[in-house]
Structure 1
Amino acid sequence: MTEKIVILTGAGLSAESGLSTFRDAGGLWAQHRIEDVATPEAFARDPARVQAFYNMRRAQAAEAHPNAAHLALARLQTTLKGRVILITQNVDWLHEKAGGIALHMHGVLSQALCAACGHRWYVPDEMTPDEPCPACGAPRGRPDVVWFGEMPYHLDLIDSHLSSCTLFAAIGTSGQVFPAAGFVREAQLNGAETVELNLERTEISGQFQRNIFGPATETVPRWVDSLLEDSLY
């Protein structure tokens, strides 16, 4: 029986819901320089531009629907209650729309963060350049997402889960961004089995004990079915 499963999900999981990945040719990120929209310096320099960019991303995420892979992972989490930890690099909230619960290590577009007092709140469809904080009133509201150069969220908790899991899976992630790229090694050092589910081979595919390639909407539901068949629940 698998005692604890830790699953890392990346942009490839949401791609089939219509949300472009970071490296999509012609996608959203190809149209904007990271330095202009996804750094603390960019926000300090031109908050209107940054807020407009994330307003656009938020609107796209709000229109997106969970796909079969999101739904399968939520089913796994519900069936094996308390034994499946979802960690996502995605800033959409499709795991939650599907009925799952995920640790958002890069934040989530549906929330705002006050740069003055640290208060978080759910945001309207659009944020303004001088978005006021409902807690302290400072016009310092920003998207609650981790920008380049900032520390991802929940790292201590994630480290605890990686040190105690018996199975680690990475789904739809390129494995090129740290610290997430090092999760497979960390899990293996603590004795976990490892599996990668991706559309195609990645730079770190060789680090996994098992690889499953193909569209997430096809591979993830089959993989979840196999786990549940092998499990004693």
Structure 2
Amino acid sequence: MLAETSAKLTDNLQQATQILAQSSQICILTGAGISAESGIPTFRDKQTGLWEQYRAEDLASAEAFERDPELVWSWYQWRRQLVHDKAPNSAHLALARWQQAGSHKITLVTQNVDDLHEQAKHHERTSRHEPSNDSKPLGNLNNIDSTVHHLHGHLWRNRCSQCHKPYTEQSAQPKSDIDFDTKLIHCSECDGLIRPDIVWFGESLPVDSWQIAEQAAANCEVFISIGTSSLVYPAAGLAQLAKQNGAKIIEINPNPTANSFVDITLAAKAGEVMPLLVDRIL
């Protein structure tokens, strides 16, 4: 596979390997690009079917949910149906293998709302015949690995739009059994409408996940950006924070962004580069 890569990519891959070999603390930020390689449409992709008349930006907000909750809930149920059978690709699996190896202290932060990182880690543990800390089966709606820090929420979780209590009535239900009913659900505590546990436009990022991401970026020796343009704030500021504190910045993206603070660019798909990089590291 190395023979098929360009000379420049091979050289940059070697540089990245050398930097990582001399480092112990790594912060990794993943974005829509890594999930797109598994067939999950990016948030900015044009809507299809019944939803092509809408912009995603016009549906992902508290105002939209208040104005027409059934429309927004139906859209999220459609999105869930669209991705429920998607599986982690070789980039997710390589990252999981790297984390499980324990050769570096890795903080994995994602802008994605899917559970492909969690699926990959479950797969890695299973392949090693290691016990899992998760008591719930793979595909469970609440099966979120605590070592994956989601900045934009979880597509497979819901909460009350008024009292914010997590909606757990479906917690034992695997994704494969969901009927994607578009009927609205009410909270058992306050009768408020149940909404997706997603960070919508105009809402703040989850405090705990953001603090972990900031701390990891500020203290890491290498910051790796995978499949994200690093242009959407506040997440885009993590790489800059890392750079300001002396970290090396590695970007993995087939369409690199024009960021002057990036030290090494691996201009290829994550699914092609990450297995090569992890093989060299381990």
Matched residue, 2:18: none
TM-score, scaled relative to structure 2 = 0.74
More off after superposition, 140-149 vs 95-104:
95-104
Q: Secondary structure of 1:70's partner?
A: helix
The residue type paired with residue 157 of structure 1 is: I
Matched residue, 1:218: 272
Shift of 1:169: 0.3
Matched residue, 1:186: 241
Gap regions ≥5 residues in structure 2: 1-21, 123-146
Q: Secondary structure of 1:63's partner?
A: coil
Same amino acid, percent of matched pairs = 41
1:64 aligns to 2:86 (yes or no): yes
Give the Cα separation in 2 of the matches to 1:50 and 1:30.
14
Matched residue, 1:231: none
More off after superposition, 29-38 vs 164-173:
29-38
The residue type paired with residue 142 of structure 1 is: R
1:149 aligns to 2:202 (yes or no): yes
Q: Check the 8 A contact 2:24/2:104 in 1, yes or no.
A: no
Q: Secondary structure of 1:143's partner?
A: strand
From 42, 58, 78, the equivalent of 1:21 is 42
Give the Cα separation in 1 of the matches to 2:115 and 2:121.
10
Matched residue, 2:151: 105
More off after superposition, 37-46 vs 149-158:
149-158
Q: Check the 8 A contact 1:165/1:192 in 2, yes or no.
A: yes
Matched residue, 2:228: 173
Q: Secondary structure of 1:207's partner?
A: coil
Q: Check the 8 A contact 1:20/1:27 in 2, yes or no.
A: no
Give the Cα separation in 2 of the matches to 1:53 and 1:8.
27
Count of matched residue pairs = 226
Q: Secondary structure of 1:223's partner?
A: helix
Q: Secondary structure of 1:98's partner?
A: helix
Matched residue, 1:94: 116
Q: Check the 8 A contact 1:107/1:145 in 2, yes or no.
A: yes
Gap regions ≥5 residues in structure 1: 229-233
Please give the per-residue CA displacement for 1:51-108, whole angstroms capped at 9, x wherever unaligned. 0111011122211000000000011111127711110000111000111741010001
Matched residue, 1:39: 61
More off after superposition, 7-16 vs 82-91:
82-91
Shift of 1:193: 1.4
Cα distance 1:25–1:53, how it changes in 2: closer, same or farther (>3 A)?
closer
